[in-house]
Chains A and B, each alone.
Chain A
Amino acid sequence: MGSNMAENHPVGFRWPMKAKERGATLIHVDPRFSRTSASADLYVPIRSGSDIAFLGGLINYVLSNDKFFREYVIAYTNASTILREDYVDAEDNGGIFSGFDPKSGTYDNSTWAYAGPEQEAKEDAAAHTGHAMEGTSPAKHEPDRDETLEHSRCVFQVLKRHYARYTPEMVEQTCGTPKDLFLQVAEVLTKNSGRERTSAICYAVGWTQQSYGAQIIRAAGILQLLLGNMGRPGGGILALRGHASIQGSTDVPTLFDLLPGYLPHPSAVKGDETLEQYMEETAVRGGYWSNFPKFMISLLKAWYGDAASQENEFGYQWIPKLTGDHSHLSTTAAMADGHVKGFIVFGQNPANGSPHAGLQRKALRQLDWLVAIDLYETETAAFWYGGPEGWNPADIKTEVFILPTAGPPEKDGTFTNTQRLLQYHDKAVDPPGDSRSDLWIVYHLGRRLKNLYRQSANARDEGLKSLTWDYLPEQVDPRWRITDEPSAEKVLMEINGYRSSDGTQLPDFEQLKADGSTACGVWIYSGVFPDKNMARRRGRTPDNYVDPEWGFAWPGNRRILYNRASADPAGKPWSERKKYVYWDATARKWTGPDVPDFPLKKAPNTQPKPDGTGVELHSGSDPFTLKADGRGWLFAPSGLKDGPLPTHYEPLESPIKNPLYARQDSPAVKRFPRPDNPISPTGDPNYPYVATTYRVTEQYTSGAMSRWSGWLSELMPEMFAEISPELALARGIKNLDWIVVSSPRARIECRALVTRRMRPLRVAGKLVHIVGLPYHWGYKGLVKGAMANDLVQLSEEPNVYIQEDKAFSCNVHRGRLK
């Protein structure tokens, strides 16, 4: 669901195809019949934006038909945990949970906590949200539980009540999915889960790019926990990342609110004035995240080296503090209002690749300077003369610099792919002309800046001056023309971590210390370069299908996270067929084909130490070691800004009223109510159709790389919109006709591709048409075309700040713009 794997991950799709050959059932739930649907055993249509209703329907089916994996659920999830008395579910409050402040549009999550002593409420309030340190709060390690699952306030009963109305009929009403097809999915999934079998769910941006994307993934998490599909071979929820190494870019990261390894970025708003305050605000007692101080101090040591000491808070003050939301979309809005002077874009093309691309271009012209770093002159680099606005270059004040960069074969480095696997690749050839690798550009920019500021006595420049910046190789590789290329392996060695005293590489993150004796750039990657580059490994292990000697998977080369759950509470495999990691009673340790994701010698019958810290607070049968309580969370007492349980809301723009709740859309979404970002009201007759954007195999993202290749461009040469024959008939459109697609933000023209693969769905008694819009085209490259992202509105999902381009309102007309 929410993924078109065959088209967007064709190389990875060989594995589902292989699984199908071995008897697996492939199900594709999607608004469009795509190349993935063509290869699936079962195609199930769904209205864009109604995924939570569908998944909630499955959860309800599992619960009301008693199809959940009881032993797994009781032992490994928080199903038995009892919630506070003052918690109010959305079901009893018109679609809004307790703690909502309508003025600010935010939740106070204190009532979502587990029942228990009051003194822990403070820690709950400090719960981390968004990307950082998931599952760290609440700090209740021994909450009240009822293992019979009968207590009316236990998570299991709350869950049951929350999803009771998500019936197959309601799914049909809300999603447009025929009831019998929905039931077929429910039956296949439940039959294929349990001791003997497991099912996996794959998703991609079809889920994330919605105003409640994180909640959709949570819904899948609940379903998979109920079915016992987490931490077991063949199970899981697999995020298919949309670009090479986009996983790496969240790990390391490129996100504004994170430090490397999912540590929260210090924030002035939260009062992280000193390292002590930050540590106190961030610290947690239960679970593996209790080691957070070790990761943080080691990170500061990696950045500032000898300059970081106990006396100067390890250089903590040199890190800029957040003052609010500085995500891509908020920055765009600020830029459009003239609050941003300069902008450096690395391999990114917001002028046609980001939502509300017209606003993106408008924002670019407010800049003093723009540096566009890419393989080609992108739409972003050419916004000042090439855009559809027809601006006169003389009117644009922005000075644009283009730095040509190197493609993957022209540089060394790692890719971190979808399953957290790091693979190293070697440079094969020098990049042409003045092109340089991204690493070269960053390194030499830093080197020159450091040089400029070396005499500065200004206190705020100390950080830049102290930054460790020693990445040139000891020896220049005589094969290459470019002789001042930094060593990617040296960067990876710093990421891995080393002893501060003598620089010896660390074997893994278990060795990290909070006293400044260790340095580590990204704690989760530690172990990738102990004495050699593990990401370079290409070993095949006979008789071990996990192939642990191929590359390096973080953390600690574990291929399946939380794999303790692949054995029963006593440490025995759930079944011979699904044997994976289990307790070897003779050797008294966990063993199996994978690295156990659990303290290696902690016996299954270990009792929790109530006065201990970290994973000591967990028993020998609490597999989810990062969570404070060691359990998988059916109910999320913290971590999310928009509710503890996934709830069906309509997209910000929808043709129908929310069939389930009085509340129409997600209450905690960040909106940008500005004149240049109009939103269409519910059921707007001017924009009656549902638009969804996507990619096709032949082009790549905004086309910045692929539209310069004739071989790719000839395969998908023009912008088109996919519509059903029914919609075409209603609007008098024939195949290949020019059409105008409009939203409240913009109008674009493209060709119509009329196909039976698109079909209208009957939703809430109304026939809803879906318009499919690939977003690959722009105004540069060999093939050009209109930009689907011009139509998308600016909005932010509250946890991860992503836009909603998988479901918004549009209209179509036959004809052209002029």
Chain B
Amino acid sequence: MIDAYKRVMNLEEPPAPRATKGFFTDASLCIGCKACEVACKQWNQLPADGFALTGTSYDNTGALGATTWRHVQFIEQAKANGARQEQRWLFLSDVCKHCANAACLEACPTGALIRTEFDTVYVQQDICNGCGFCVPACPFGVIDRAPKHGQFEPGTAHKCTLCYDRLKDDMTPACAKSCPTASIQFGDLGELQQRARRRLGELHARGESEARLYGMPDSAEAQDVGPLHAFFLLLDEPKAYNLPDLPRLPRKTMLERYAWSGVVALGAALVSALVFGRRG
């Protein structure tokens, strides 16, 4: 019966699951060259987002968006130490985290957002109806809707595909391929996580005490959204890189929020009863 339905509807078998793929982005190796941003836009044929100087260090990209899937952050830190100035310029190439429990995927009512055979999160453009539920759902502010005027259907959701088309042909995603210093590493998630632990140990041994991993299994940030399939090595607190300490899944906070809505509704009812009740 199901087979007959599939035949009639011309439905293909989904591809068999493959090894989980991901990115390990190591801020301690990033030199801020933005090759990843350009390679991503070139491979995915994403348009330029306009030409404006932001005045925020060398970051003229600003944020991830519908047509910007890699974003190199530039964080200038300086503090006086006696007569000497201690100074750091931190770089990090931010990207969609391809969460194990992806909030966008949960929020999507049409099934446009799917989990691929590589365990990555992907938006099917022919199914997305542009409802936008995924946008506020993402705790990292990654996914975004296409602007009114542009090459994409206005309103449809877009984000990093982890170069799904390249993965299909066993190719490395464009950003990782172009990274000159191996700050962006691509591979099997388990192996990347092992490499990251080793790397962290090296940095700690070298005295980089503030170095930490972000998005590993069993970490605070993985509590809701699960391990991040694109995870990071940071040289400062997550908030220095504009990353949440505790990314929440909307589903997990639903009861709490309904409760608060109830409280607010009750409060509003009470106030209106008090204000308008007297007149009655």
Contact = CB atoms under 8 A, between A and B. Distances in A.
B51 interface: yes
Contacts of B136: none
B83 interface: yes
A736 B53 contact: yes
B196 to A, nearest CB: 15
Contacts of B181: 10, 13-14, 17
Interface string A728-748: 000000011000000000000
B245 interface: no
Contacts of B60: 714-717
A711 B38 contact: yes
Nearest to B52: A717
Nearest to B42: A711
A814 interface: no
B89 A33 contact: yes
Interface of B: 29, 31-35, 37-38, 41-42, 47-53, 55, 57-58, 60-61, 76, 78, 83-85, 87-91, 180-182
Contact of B78 (A13, A756, A783): A756
Interface in A565-614: none
Contacts of B47: 710
Interface string A748-775: 0001010111010000000000000000
A713 B51 CA distance: 7
A782 B87 contact: no
A720 B87 contact: no
A204 interface: no
Nearest to A717: B51
Nearest to A43: B87
A293 to B, nearest CB: 45
Given A696-B58, A755-B76, A14 B38 contact: no
Interface in A699-724: 710-718, 720
Contacts of B88: 38
B76 A757 contact: yes
Contact of B87 (A33, A714, A715, A717): A33
11 contacts: A10-B180, A11-B180, A35-B33, A38-B32, A39-B31, A43-B87, A178-B84, A715-B60, A735-B55, A756-B78, A759-B85
Given A710-B47, A720-B53, A736-B55, A35 B32 contact: yes
Q: Which of B52, B53, B60 has the most CB of A within 10 A?
A: B53
Interface in A59-80: none
B48 A697 contact: no
Q: Which of the listed residues A38, A717, A718, A751 has the most CB atoms from chain B within 10 Å of its own CB?
A: A38
A394 B87 CA distance: 54
Contacts of A751: 53, 55
A505 to B, nearest CB: 36
A7 interface: yes
Nearest to A710: B48
Interface string A1-39: 000001100110110010000000000000001010111
B53 A717 contact: yes
Contacts of A43: 87
Contacts of B38: 711-712, 715
A394 to B, nearest CB: 32
A757 B87 contact: yes
Contacts, number: 97
Given A710-B47, A717-B51, A14 B182 contact: yes
Interface in A766-818: 782-783
A714 B83 contact: no
Contacts of B84: 178
A697 B48 CA distance: 17
Nearest to B85: A759
A698 interface: yes
Contacts of A696: 58
Contacts of B90: 38
A647 B181 CA distance: 38
Q: Shortest 7 CB-CB distances between A and B: which pairs?
A: A710-B48, A717-B51, A38-B89, A736-B55, A756-B78, A10-B33, A718-B53
B33, B38, B57, B61 — which one has the most chain A CB atoms within 10 A of its CB? B33
Contacts of A736: 53, 55
Contacts of B31: 6-7, 10, 13, 17, 35, 38-39
Given A10-B180, A714-B48, A755 B53 contact: no
Given A13-B180, A713-B48, A715-B60, A38 B55 contact: no
B78 A714 contact: no
A178 B83 contact: yes
B35 to A, nearest CB: 7
A13 B180 CA distance: 8
Nearest to B84: A178
A716 B76 CA distance: 17
A711 B89 CA distance: 23
A7 B181 CA distance: 12
A757 B84 CA distance: 13
A38 B74 CA distance: 11
A756 B51 CA distance: 25
Nearest to B83: A178
Given A38-B91, A698-B58, A755-B76, 11 more contacts: A6-B31, A7-B33, A14-B181, A38-B88, A711-B42, A713-B48, A714-B50, A715-B60, A717-B51, A751-B53, A753-B53
Contacts of A10: 31, 33, 35, 180-181
Contacts of B85: 756, 759
Interface string A683-707: 0000000000000111000000000
Interface centre among B31, B57, B182 (most CB of A within 10 A): B31
Contacts of B58: 35, 696, 698, 716
Contacts of A7: 31, 33
Contact of B33 (A697, A711, A717): A697
Contacts of B49: 714
Contacts of A33: 87, 89
A714 B52 CA distance: 7
Max chain B CB contacts within 10 Å: which of A17, A37, A736? Answer: A17
Contacts of B29: 17
A11 B49 CA distance: 26
B34 to A, nearest CB: 5
A255 to B, nearest CB: 31
Given A10-B180, A11-B180, A711 B51 contact: no
A728 B24 CA distance: 39
B87 A718 contact: no
A711 B180 contact: no
Given A13-B180, A757-B76, A783 B51 contact: yes
A523 B37 CA distance: 43
Contact of A756 (B55, B76, B182): B76
Nearest to A11: B180
A33 B74 CA distance: 13
A172 to B, nearest CB: 12
A132 to B, nearest CB: 35
A290 B55 CA distance: 58
B51 A714 contact: yes
B179 to A, nearest CB: 9
A711 B69 CA distance: 13
Contacts of A697: 32-34
Nearest to B79: A756
Contacts of A715: 34, 37-38, 60-61
Nearest to B199: A21
Interface string A219-239: 000000000000000000000
Contacts of A716: 58, 60
A158 B24 CA distance: 56
A757 B78 CA distance: 8
Contacts of B53: 717-718, 720, 736, 751, 753
Contacts of A718: 51-53
A787 to B, nearest CB: 17
B236 to A, nearest CB: 13
